[in-house]
Structure 1
Amino acid sequence: MSSYSIKDLEQLSGIKAHTLRIWEQRYNIITPKRTDTNIRTYDDQDLKLVLNISLLKDHGYKISEISKLSVEEMYREVVKISDRQLSYPDQIHALTISMIDLDEDRFEKIISTNILQFGFENTMIHIIYPFLGRIGTLWVTGSIGPAQEHFITNLIRQKIIVAIDGQVSKQRPDGKKYMLFLPEGELHEISLLFGNYIIRARSNKVIYLGQSLPFNELAFAYNLHKPDYIFTALTSVPANHEVQPYVNRLVKAFPDAHLLMTGYQVVGQDIDIPENATIINQIEDLIRIAST
């Protein structure tokens, strides 16, 4: 079972820590555990409770009314709301709960409903990507374990692969050629997979080389296919001090391709960007390039 601070709950639910303390004192709606030094701690059930309260409040329920509901009654009210059209933040709350509970059926219902209503691409951009940002926060703070992180990211990965399969036949004769890879040691594949979808959906050709590719294998594939663009995501590797040399090595080795980069190690970092390279700060940047 995970342990959360009151700041974790504030960040995940959008409810201020001060408000949570008031609810605790006035309504006894949530009862945190206390450390030996009297610091509040919360578990998975507390997090789900706060997320459900946040959802109900956003849909017009007063906190005085919510405080009178049992956990079961509150859950039934949340399910009623969830069966109607929800806003993007509501969907992200619901996905967070499905991750905490390892609830694949709930995940499937949320994602399938949104894909039918908004389309796969909009679901990814407005729901999955912000949700992945939340997962990152939870992972860094130790609020979720490997089982929960692996569970939800593998479900998302499966959805993207299915969507990619539907784009395979769309290449047009004048489409550009993109080669996609992750550096050796890099395993965070979701951004690259969604990039694969975005590029194929614009009728371009993709050579997908996947995770943890040694540099010499990238050079082999480049010489074979001569792509117009090389796209990569630098999330955890190379190390900070090795990023600039790695970028320089890429543009020098493949001067006839335009290098597209995204990921924590390059977005918002002090990287010297060569002329034949572009940092993809947001997914809309890749959409614009793949559409031209």
Structure 2
Amino acid sequence: MAAEKYSIKDLERLSGIKAHTLRIWEKRYGIINPERTDTNIRYYGNEELKKILNISLLNQHGYKISIISEMSEGEIAEKAAAVGLFGQQETTDESLLLSLIEMNEILFHNTFSALVMKHGFEHTIVNHIFPYFRRIGIMWQAGTINPAQEHFISNLIRNKIILATESLTRTAGQQKALALLFLPEGELHEIGLLFYNYALRARGFRTIYLGQSVPHNSLSRVISTCNPDLIVTGMTNPVNATDFLTFSHELCRTSPGLKIYFTGPVPAGAEGKLPANAFTVDDLLELMELRRK
């Protein structure tokens, strides 16, 4: 992986350790060592970031910084690996982040599996993976990770959701509600939609999953062919209220007899202006809870 340059504020954002504390550790224990640019600006590399994430894991498990400072980098990494899969959300979240920074598939798999064993699949996705993606989004915007890293972790999570969905039992011939799921043209981020596909199937819905970037002019034929009971879609790319309302009104006009659930954020200014047969993710979650009972 190409070397990255992180400021001390980047280290604070990624590790959760205050910049002031990092400076004290650096000065008192020499635990991290910044480099300098040609213009004498201090920065830290990938190895320093990984070391800080490991130190954060150990510190959260009761290791004093004075003790950690006496360990070799190999000892720090080994002990962090030993404690990183047990206990609180903070430590598992740090392990997830470290798997991204290192592009470490085994660490991600072990951390994810431990979370699922302890909390269950849905809890893991909702309470760990979705917040994790929000953190990744902030990191990506700040330039502290690159697109390749984001693609790496997204594909691992995507595969986990697909595998979990395929493991669900399907019974042919049962007359249950049918949900059609798709993302509109130009929308490529399907992790959320994949999860809703899983969650609906787990509650007894039949689903037809079309995936990302589906042309609008192909939908009417699909709808007339499969005759769904509801549609689940959404827009994850930044969009203004006018474009969102144009999309929602056109889709609802194409399918006037169906309830259409929008899973992405509703832009400011669009609230209260959706068509009568348009609903938000909160309505979808309520529907799924009713289905479970």
Q: How far 1:8 moved relative to its partner?
A: 2.1
Alignment of 1:141 onto 2:145 = no
Q: Is the 8 A contact 2:241 2:267 kept in 1?
A: no
Q: How far 1:121 moved relative to its partner?
A: 1.4
CA separation of 1:176/1:237 partners in 2, compared to 1, >3 Å: closer, same or farther?
A: farther
**TM-score normalised according to structure 1 size:** 0.89
Per-residue Cα deviation, 1:52-89 (whole angstroms, up to 9, x for no partner): 12111111111222222221111121122135x23222
Per-residue Cα deviation, 1:187-207 (whole angstroms, up to 9, x for no partner): 101111011000000000111
Equivalent position of 2:78 in the other structure? 76
CA separation of 1:282/1:137 partners in 2, compared to 1, >3 Å: closer, same or farther?
A: farther
CA separation of 1:101/1:107 partners in 2, compared to 1, >3 Å: closer, same or farther?
A: same
Equivalent position of 2:50 in the other structure? 48
CA separation of 1:283/1:22 partners in 2, compared to 1, >3 Å: closer, same or farther?
A: farther
Q: How do residues 271-286 of structure 1 correspond to structure 2 at under 5 angstroms?
A: 271=270, 272-280=273-281, 284=285
What 5-or-longer segments of structure 1 have no aligned partner?
none
Q: How far 1:33 moved relative to its partner?
A: 2.5
Return the alpha-carbon distance in structure 2 between the equivalents of residues 276 and 238 of structure 1: 21
Q: Is the 8 A contact 1:170 1:200 kept in 2?
A: no
Q: Is the 8 A contact 2:57 2:84 kept in 1?
A: no
CA separation of 1:267/1:30 partners in 2, compared to 1, >3 Å: closer, same or farther?
A: farther
CA separation of 1:281/1:51 partners in 2, compared to 1, >3 Å: closer, same or farther?
A: farther
Q: How far 1:228 moved relative to its partner?
A: 2.3
Alignment of 1:211 onto 2:208 = no
* Percent identity of equivalent pairs: 44
Equivalent position of 1:32 in the other structure? 34
Q: How many residues align?
A: 289
Return the alpha-carbon distance in structure 2 between the equivalents of residues 283 and 20 of structure 1: 44
CA separation of 1:245/1:281 partners in 2, compared to 1, >3 Å: closer, same or farther?
A: same
Return the alpha-carbon distance in structure 2 between the equivalents of residues 283 and 40 of structure 1: 48
Return the alpha-carbon distance in structure 2 between the equivalents of residues 190 and 160 of structure 1: 8
Q: Is the 8 A contact 1:183 1:237 kept in 2?
A: no
Per-residue Cα deviation, 1:226-276 (whole angstroms, up to 9, x for no partner): 32221112111666642221112112221211121122xx34633133332
SS in 1 for 2:170: helix
Alignment of 1:202 onto 2:220 = no
Q: How far 1:281 moved relative to its partner?
A: 5.5
**Over aligned residue pairs, what C-alpha RMSD do you find?**
2.4
Equivalent position of 2:231 in the other structure? 230
The equivalent position to 2:15 in structure 1, one of 13, 19, 22, is: 13
CA separation of 1:69/1:282 partners in 2, compared to 1, >3 Å: closer, same or farther?
A: farther
Equivalent position of 2:246 in the other structure? 245
Q: Is the 8 A contact 1:198 1:290 kept in 2?
A: no
CA separation of 1:101/1:275 partners in 2, compared to 1, >3 Å: closer, same or farther?
A: same
CA separation of 1:147/1:87 partners in 2, compared to 1, >3 Å: closer, same or farther?
A: same
CA separation of 1:5/1:275 partners in 2, compared to 1, >3 Å: closer, same or farther?
A: farther
CA separation of 1:91/1:172 partners in 2, compared to 1, >3 Å: closer, same or farther?
A: farther
**TM-score normalised according to structure 2 size:** 0.89
Alignment of 1:119 onto 2:157 = no
Per-residue Cα deviation, 1:113-145 (whole angstroms, up to 9, x for no partner): 322332221221222222212221221122112
Equivalent position of 1:269 in the other structure? 268
Task: Single out whichever of 169-178 and 112-121 deviates more from structure 2.
Answer: 169-178
